[in-house]
Structure 1
Amino acid sequence: MMYKFKSKAAGDVIMLQPNGDQVMRILGREPAAKGILEAQNLPAAAAALEAAVAADEQARQQQKDADDDTDAAQAAGSGRDKVSLRQRVWPLVEMMKRSHAAGEDIVWGV
């Protein structure tokens, strides 16, 4: 399954299921094939994603610092995803900002 987020105020944002499910959980929702984010709730949703991004970046930095302390970790690599949460959710956050400004909802699966 893919998530295809749509809004009349912005272009579509497409995510594969694992990433879309992660976004849904960050937003405090159960992953679902269909849904709606209402315009009045978009600022809170964007803030939740931005908070998750900050936490992810802090965890990545701590992991990098820990890896730098050990030669074995450098040789093996950290195993973390190369694409950060910021890179994954930025298009959706921008969609949320534009949709809120235009008073438009975001839907998926419809």
Structure 2
Amino acid sequence: MIYKFRSKAAGDVIMMGPSGDQVLRIIGKTPAPKGIIEPAAMPAAVQAIEQAIVAEENARKQAEADAAAEGRTLPPREAVTLRQRAWPLVEMMKRAHGEGKEIVWGV
């Protein structure tokens, strides 16, 4: 599935299914073909994504430190990090919240 997030406050954000599913779970939404993020929920959603990004980055740093301590190297990280995948949606949420507009997908 492809997610096309839309808001009257910003341009569309398109995410492939697995990335969209991950971000929706992070913000406490069940992945579904249709949905909405209300403006009142956006600050908490942005905070949840930012916390998930920090957790992912800290886990990678710890794994690299553990590997270095054992004299091995880790394979390269994913080509696109959560920070990079989620940034357009976070920016959309900030704009939509500022204008009091919802974000919808699948409609």
Scaled by the length of structure 1, what TM-score is found? Answer: 0.89
SS at 2:12 equivalent: strand
- How many residues are matched? 107
SS at 1:50 equivalent: helix
Tell me, in whole angstroms, the C-alpha distance in 2 between the residues paired with 1:85 and 1:107. Answer: 21
Q: How far has the Cα of 1:28 moved from its partner?
A: 1.4
Matched residue type, 2:22: Q
Q: For structure 2, which runs of at least 5 residues remain unmatched after alignment?
A: none
Q: What aligned pairs does 1:52-71 form with structure 2 within 5 A after superposition?
A: 52-71=52-71
Tell me, in whole angstroms, the C-alpha distance in 1 between the residues paired with 2:16 and 2:63. Answer: 26
Q: Over the residues paired in the alignment, what is the CA RMSD in angstroms?
A: 1.4
2:91 matches 1:81: no
Scaled by the length of structure 2, what TM-score is found? Answer: 0.92
Tell me, in whole angstroms, the C-alpha distance in 2 between the residues paired with 1:32 and 1:97. Answer: 22
State percent identity of aligned pairs: 56
Q: What aligned pairs does 1:90-101 form with structure 2 within 5 A after superposition?
A: 90-101=87-98
Q: For structure 1, which runs of at least 5 residues remain unmatched after alignment?
A: none
2:98 matches 1:105: no
SS at 1:57 equivalent: helix
Partner in structure 1 of residue 16 of structure 2: 16
Matched residue type, 1:44: A
Partner in structure 2 of residue 30 of structure 1: 30
Would the aligned equivalents of 1:26 and 1:48 in 2 still touch at CA under 8 Å? yes
Describe the superposition over 1:6-46 as per-residue Cα deviations: whole angstroms up to 9, x where unpaired. 01111111110001110111111211010000111111111
